[in-house]
Amino acid sequence: QVQLVESGGGLVQAGGSLRLSCAASRSILGINAMGWYRQAPGKQREWVTSITSGGITNYADAVKGRFTISRDNAKNTVYLQMNSAQPEDTAIYYCYASWMNRIYWGQGTQVTVSS
């Protein structure tokens, strides 16, 4: 079992920055991959970014060059640095972990970008 707790969401102006955190209840060293999805009002949940246990990162085209995912193994935490935020980034952001053939989800954190 892995419990994930997100934090860091809030209100930011367009062009601003925000950093989300995802703290895991166990060591993330053995977790295959972690990342973020988001869900905007009235839209389906979409994948945003991921990072493997080996540190390989991938990004959706919509956030490439603006968002950065990173992990701190000592703190069992994954971060999402959001720069140059845009109104279309407004969504609930969900952290996930892929481990032992299961996907674990956090409860989500709201990000609102005002124009």
With a cut of 90, say whether residue 30 has pLDDT above it.
no
**What pLDDT was estimated at residue 18?**
98
Which residues are 109's β-sheet partners?
93
Which residues are 24's β-sheet partners?
4
**What pLDDT was estimated at residue 98?**
96
> How many separate helices (H) and strands (E) can be counted in the chain?
0, 11
88-115 pLDDT, tens digit per residue, is: 999 999 999 999 999 999 999 999 999 9
**What pLDDT was estimated at residue 35?**
98
Mean pLDDT of the chain: 97
Longest dimension (CA), the chain: 41
SS3 content of the chain, % helix, strand, coil (to 5): 5, 55, 40
